[in-house]
Amino acid sequence: MKTKISRIITTCFLIVFQIGLAQQTIKGTITDESGVPLPGATITVKGTSNGSSSDFDGNFSIAAKLGDTLVFSFVGYSPTELVIDGSQINVTLSPTGALDEVVVTALGLTRAKKSLGFAVQSVDSKAINDANENNLVNALQGQISGVQIQGSASTLGGASRITIRGSNSFLGNNQPLFVVDGVPMDNSSFSSIDQQEGFGDNEYDYGNTISDIDPASIADMTVLKGAAATALYGSRGANGVILITTKNGKGSDDGMGVSFSTTITFDEVTNLLPVQQMYGGGSTASTPSGFNELIQDGVSYLYPNYKKDGSWGPKYDPNVLVRHWNSWDPLASNYKETRPWVAPANGYETYFDTGVTYNNSISFSGANNKGNYRVGYTNIDQKGTTPLGKLEKNAISINSGYELTDKLKAGVSVNYTNTIVNNRNVTGYDNGNPMQAFTQWWQTQLDMDLIRNNTTTLSGDQYTWNAVGPVVDETTKEFKSYDFAPNYFDSPFWVRENFLQEDVRNRMFGNMNLAYEINDELSVSTQIGTDWYQFSLREGIPLGSVSLSKYVEAERRFQETNMEVKLNYKKEFSDKLDLRAFVGANTMRQVFKKTDIATSGGIVVDKFFNIANSSGSPAVSTYQTERGIDSFFASASLAWDSTVYLDLSARNDWSSTLPKDNNSYFYPSASLSFIFTEAIDLTEAVNFGKFRVSLAQAGNDASPYLLENVYEATSPNFGSNPLYRVPQSQQNPNLTNELTTEFELGLDLVLFDNRLSIDAAYYDRTTKDQIFNVPLPSPTGFTSRTLNAGEMRNWGWEFQFKGTPIKQNDLRVDLGLNLSFINNEVVELLKDNEGNSVVENIAVGSTWAAEVRVQEGYPYMALFGQDYTYDSNGNRIVDADGKYVFTSDREYLGSVIPDLTGGFSTSVEYKNFTLSTLFDFQVGGIIHSTSTQWSKYSGMHPETVAFNGESDTRANGMILPGVKADGSKNDISIDPQSYYQSIWRSAAPNVFETSYLKFRDVRLSYRFPSSTLDKTPFNNLTFGVFGRNIAILSSDLPYLDPQGVTSSGNLQGLENAQVPSTRSFGFNLTAQF
């Protein structure tokens, strides 16, 4: 027996396929209405588990007997049944619209969409592949209602954020759960709170780990939005679940199918904040020329104040010759060179390169009536838009299924991804992120070519535009020396050439499963799945930078293993009543470990990036967490006459992170759907109509280690004295679980001969007893304490329209529109026994002028800052100097969460051509831009030279639109510099709405006709050209990308030195043979 078990396991791990002998081989072709073959359609012999699938030409073969019924199904097409009357059967399948769509729901159940009592939405794997986004999250942009996505498109391995139906938790994770072939996947983003606020100390954007999933291996993706759909995933399903099924082997025993795809994409940066080009950089000296003056070797020179990182210098004048920043290297041929004081030939936008990405994938697959396999390999080679940025990803996936006996099936899936990145982008307000200088502290006259070609002096020192500069005798003006040390900013190219950043992530995930059919009614299935990665990174800063030199080595290791067993039961009680049910158990264990080693006090030998090169004793820190959840669950689905469907489910979790006596929590769900078109005769225009309602709960546990008071060591010691601290957040031994309750109503309609489908949903979701760090005034000795408190509500409408206005022989036009109206309120934070609010808000993040809070009675992530003051007519009030008067307190300025998000898609197919477009949009939501704030402060912003129609305001002054204290129209002229440098602490002038309309995607593809391919080895050959993130057609935020974020964390709405978005164009060739 022992040997038998090991044989089963061995079978699971090895790709075994064997040619089975069967009764008779039935062959045929499956095509769609226009005769295009449908590869990968499934064929089953009705009443048996015997099945096959079609190959790339739509050909299939299956062993069956004459008189058996074959069921043909394909995602997006109506299943068709045919009785075998010969050895050759050709079938034409018709698209279903929404009618008979089959979707994968919780725990991998395949269900007819029409039977579901809750909202699910499938995403076409073609759309995911076509998007050509390295990060899977970005590929979902505009595709799904109820989903909000933020993230700078295509930045080298950067982070993106996704939420489904808003955020449930004040401070916890609000990202949905990704599940690949039944295995929950980690989606960590290694960003600090500092980084989310737009700050950080040379912190790189390490992206979010879901980007390890190779889009090319995805067969199907389903989004489960509501708690009813997610109850079976337990706690982590409460934020929604994105279910991914990877491709498996298809085809017949004709042999092996090969599929190949190659894509080349070109990226260019967009959304740059422009700089004014009327005045130059530095400051204005009190000399007649406005320049500093010096005498060197008897010659008088003018020189701009290059150590000043801003642009309040003299006005451009081609007749004025000055010593620019690169004229001070005594060994260089241009020593003492003077050049005119004019706008640069090459502005900062020329810093960026054209990014190029090559994406090649190939897969081999095959199947017979006993089993199938697929082996896929993808290589992505990306050159970033910032100089020397590079990403290389290799992904391998192996999938196989096999019928060991008539009753026993085994499956195995293994995925491995290796990602190597060099020179990622630094985010936020830091010298390492060139955007800090370019958008906030720059000199307008700087020519990027000169900076690119002069990163070091001929003696090898860094040569930065922002050097401390000339040392001049104050009275004689005699030049004494030149200090090449950077004042605030390193040369942006020197940074890219000399800073070290590299990381490697190895990730392996997969599962093996067994299913055994006990009898017609009962079956047992079990699955073990694991997700593992090791992430190693190295960072270094050389000597000579404005930042202290350093070297850091870090290691992150993660593993989560789930084991699950399920007993399934199905029975048809009568013609009308059908029951399917299961009970099951799951155990989850998760381990995370990180190790950080860093030099202390800088490095000794320049550019030798090694811990041994530390100036002081290196700092080492380790941190690890473990957690586990054990669960039992049960579910039953009752169907009555294909008209009424009732689903019930329940789950009980035991979590390691809650107190032992309190670690069990139970949550049920129920949903009901009623297909009224089956019960009532409506007009012929209504092909299908369903009403659905569901009510569900989902419990959630805490983070590890919140129960006991402990002492934390702070590193390093003080000499030989250890330094221990009491944690600033007070622990709580009495925690209980959080609970989310959701109510959902929905309506599905298919109209006009399946030409139009409408899916509408209303949801109302409340999360209570949230586990979070309730702020305490620091005089208590703590900044916060861990409590169960608070309540947050999300509610809204979702609409999805799909239409086919034109459908003729050669021409088909499809349109799609999805809309999500999002509402959110922080109902309660913490009340005392008398019902008084004890805590009014949680400060989540802040910059100089603005802060984002979770505040009672306001939407989640409410932005606060000083606002303008207004008179009774709504005019802004100015003071005696002509400056706006701002409120003394920080006022609520709006929610950073939009009110409405959506997408609009079109697809036109004409003969072998397909042209598709995608637009997405959002209405409402606000953002505070620190880049805009400092850009104005430092005199770079175009508004600092021309404001409100007034020209050259630096010379002429400007008049702010508004009224004086006495109510009369403002006529006080003010100097822009003194205005902008005095109001930067007030948020209102730099707060903008994040409404936008983006032209996200356009694609033209051509499929070579079969007649042409007949003489070639190809079954299918498609060529496409595409553009991605083409343009922002409308946006209230000037210049910048309203969707930019620096991490997938909760904090949003604070822009600071945004890494620019990219616009992409490319070509794609797909072949199958």
Partner 1 sequence: MKLFRQIGIYALITLSFISCTDELSDLNKDPNSAISVNPSSLLSRAQYKLYDRVHGRNLNMEWGMLMVQYWTQNEYTEESRYDVDVTTFDSSWESIYTEVLNELKVAKELVSAESGIQAVKTNKINIIDVMMVQAYMVLTDGFGDIPYTESLNTEKTLPSYDSQESIYKDLLLRLKNAATTYDTTAGSFSSGDLVYNGDVAHWKKLTHSLMLRAAMRISDADPTLAQEYITTAASDLISSRAQEALFVFDSAIERANPMYRNVVEDSRDDFCVTKYLVDELTNTGDPRLDKFARVDDKVPTIIGMPYGLSDDDASNLKSVRSRPSDGVRSATSPHVILSYAEVQFLLAEAYQRSFLTGDAEAAFNAGVNSSMEYWEIDSAVAAAYLVANPYDSSDWKQSIGWEKWVNFYTNGYEAWSEWRRLDAPALVLPAQAVVSSIPTRLPYPQSEVSNNSGQLDKVTTSPDEITIKLWWDKN
The residues in 903-962 that bind partner 1, with binding defined as CB under 8 A, are none
Give dist(CA 360, CA 356) in Å, integer: 13
The residue type found at 911 is K
- The reply to whether 483 sits near partner 1 by the rule CB under 8 A is yes
- The reply to whether 8 sits near partner 1 by the rule CB under 8 A is yes
Q: Decide if 597 contacts 614 (C-beta within 8 A).
A: no
Q: Where are the alpha helices (DSSP H) in 207-290?
A: 227-230
Cβ closest to partner 1, residue 53 vs residue 866: 866
User: Cis ω on the peptide bond leading into residue 716 (within 30° of 0)?
Assistant: yes
- The reply to whether 779 sits near partner 1 by the rule CB under 8 A is yes
Cβ closest to partner 1, residue 705 vs residue 910: 705
Cβ closest to partner 1, residue 150 vs residue 846: 846
Residue 65 Cβ vs partner 1, minimum distance, rounded to whole Å: 26
Residues between 491 and 530 that touch partner 1 (CB under 8 A)? 514, 516, 518, 524, 526, 528
Enter the tokens of residue 909.
């197919």
Residue 631 Cβ vs partner 1, minimum distance, rounded to whole Å: 8
Residues between 692 and 721 that touch partner 1 (CB under 8 A)? 704-705, 707-708, 710-716, 718-719, 721
Give dist(CA 929, CA 194) in Å, integer: 16
Residues between 257 and 286 that touch partner 1 (CB under 8 A)? 283-286
By CB under 8 A, name the one of 464, 663, 931, 1043 that touches partner 1.
663
Enter the tokens of residue 317.
């004048």
Enter the tokens of residue 221.
């993706």
Cβ closest to partner 1, residue 480 vs residue 969: 480
Cβ closest to partner 1, residue 727 vs residue 1038: 727
Give dist(CA 688, CA 676) in Å, integer: 8
CA distances from 862 to 372, 824, 881, 1052 (A): 52, 11, 32, 10
Give dist(CA 52, CA 22) in Å, integer: 13
Give dist(CA 738, CA 658) in Å, integer: 11
How many residues make contact with partner 1 (CB under 8 A)? 113
By CB under 8 A, name the one of 722, 733, 961, 967 that touches partner 1.
722
What is the pattern of x (binds partner 1, CB under 8 A) and - over residues 440-479? ----------------------------xxxxx-x-----
With contacts defined by CB under 8 A, name the span among 24-32, 161-169, 770-778, 802-810 that binds partner 1: 770-778
- The reply to whether 592 sits near partner 1 by the rule CB under 8 A is no
Q: Is the dihedral of CA 839, 845, 847, 853 positive or negative?
A: negative
- The reply to whether 548 sits near partner 1 by the rule CB under 8 A is yes
With contacts defined by CB under 8 A, name the span among 432-440, 492-500, 541-549, 746-754 that binds partner 1: 541-549
- The reply to whether 874 sits near partner 1 by the rule CB under 8 A is no
Residues between 56 and 75 that touch partner 1 (CB under 8 A)? none
By CB under 8 A, name the one of 654, 752, 1008, 1073 that touches partner 1.
654
Q: Decide if 852 contacts 797 (C-beta within 8 A).
A: no
- The reply to whether 623 sits near partner 1 by the rule CB under 8 A is yes
- The reply to whether 3 sits near partner 1 by the rule CB under 8 A is no
Residues between 411 and 440 that touch partner 1 (CB under 8 A)? none
With contacts defined by CB under 8 A, name the span among 60-68, 401-409, 603-611, 741-749 that binds partner 1: 401-409
By CB under 8 A, name the one of 125, 235, 586, 697 that touches partner 1.
586
Antiparallel, parallel or unpaired: β 1054-1055 and 926-929: parallel
- The reply to whether 405 sits near partner 1 by the rule CB under 8 A is yes
In 599-679, DSSP assigns E strands to: 619-640, 644-655, 664-675
- The reply to whether 726 sits near partner 1 by the rule CB under 8 A is yes
- The reply to whether 620 sits near partner 1 by the rule CB under 8 A is no
- The reply to whether 775 sits near partner 1 by the rule CB under 8 A is yes
Q: Decide if 439 contacts 935 (C-beta within 8 A).
A: yes
- The reply to whether 985 sits near partner 1 by the rule CB under 8 A is yes
* Torsion angle, alpha carbons of 175, 180, 182, 183, to 10: -70
- The reply to whether 630 sits near partner 1 by the rule CB under 8 A is yes
With contacts defined by CB under 8 A, name the span among 203-211, 245-253, 545-553, 1027-1035 that binds partner 1: 545-553
- The reply to whether 601 sits near partner 1 by the rule CB under 8 A is yes
With contacts defined by CB under 8 A, name the span among 75-83, 504-512, 626-634, 1063-1071 that binds partner 1: 626-634
By CB under 8 A, name the one of 52, 152, 261, 305 that touches partner 1.
305
By CB under 8 A, name the one of 255, 288, 460, 777 that touches partner 1.
777
Q: Bridge-partner residues for 744, per DSSP?
A: 694, 763
Decide: helix, strand or coil at residue 51: strand
- The reply to whether 833 sits near partner 1 by the rule CB under 8 A is no
- The reply to whether 857 sits near partner 1 by the rule CB under 8 A is no
- The reply to whether 1067 sits near partner 1 by the rule CB under 8 A is no
What is the pattern of x (binds partner 1, CB under 8 A) and - over residues 962-981? ---------------x---x
Cβ closest to partner 1, residue 318 vs residue 781: 781
CB-based burial, 372-389: b 16+ in 10 Å, e otherwise: bbbbbbbebebbbbbbeb
With contacts defined by CB under 8 A, name the span among 162-170, 204-212, 605-613, 838-846 that binds partner 1: 838-846
CA distances from 613 to 365, 432, 605, 608, 609 (A): 51, 22, 7, 7, 7
- The reply to whether 628 sits near partner 1 by the rule CB under 8 A is yes
Residues between 730 and 759 that touch partner 1 (CB under 8 A)? 730
The rounded Cα 479 to chain-centroid distance in angstroms is 54
With contacts defined by CB under 8 A, name the span among 63-71, 228-236, 458-466, 650-658 that binds partner 1: 650-658
Q: Which helix or strand (DSSP H or E) is residue 439 part of?
A: helix 434-440
Residue 212 Cβ vs partner 1, minimum distance, rounded to whole Å: 26
Give dist(CA 52, CA 124) in Å, integer: 22
* Torsion angle, alpha carbons of 250, 251, 255, 260, to 10: -60
Give dist(CA 1010, CA 549) in Å, integer: 62
Residue 710 Cβ vs partner 1, minimum distance, rounded to whole Å: 4
- The reply to whether 834 sits near partner 1 by the rule CB under 8 A is no
- The reply to whether 660 sits near partner 1 by the rule CB under 8 A is yes
Residue 164 Cβ vs partner 1, minimum distance, rounded to whole Å: 29
By CB under 8 A, name the one of 408, 672, 827, 885 that touches partner 1.
408
By CB under 8 A, name the one of 743, 782, 1008, 1073 that touches partner 1.
782
Burial class (CB in 10 A: 0-12, 13-18, 19+), 463: buried
Residue 846 Cβ vs partner 1, minimum distance, rounded to whole Å: 7
Enter the tokens of residue 406.
């008539």
Q: Decide if 404 contacts 900 (C-beta within 8 A).
A: no
Burial class (CB in 10 A: 0-12, 13-18, 19+), 125: buried
Residue 542 Cβ vs partner 1, minimum distance, rounded to whole Å: 13
CA distances from 20 to 4, 17, 47, 124, 253 (A): 21, 9, 19, 33, 10
Cβ closest to partner 1, residue 604 vs residue 710: 710
Residues between 552 and 581 that touch partner 1 (CB under 8 A)? 563-565
Q: What is the DSSP string of 215-235?
A: GGGEEEEEEE-SHHHHGGGGG
Cβ closest to partner 1, residue 318 vs residue 733: 733
Residues between 217 and 256 that touch partner 1 (CB under 8 A)? none
Give dist(CA 484, CA 1025) in Å, integer: 49
Q: Decide if 267 contacts 385 (C-beta within 8 A).
A: yes
Residues in the chain: 1073
Q: Decide if 1004 contacts 1024 (C-beta within 8 A).
A: yes
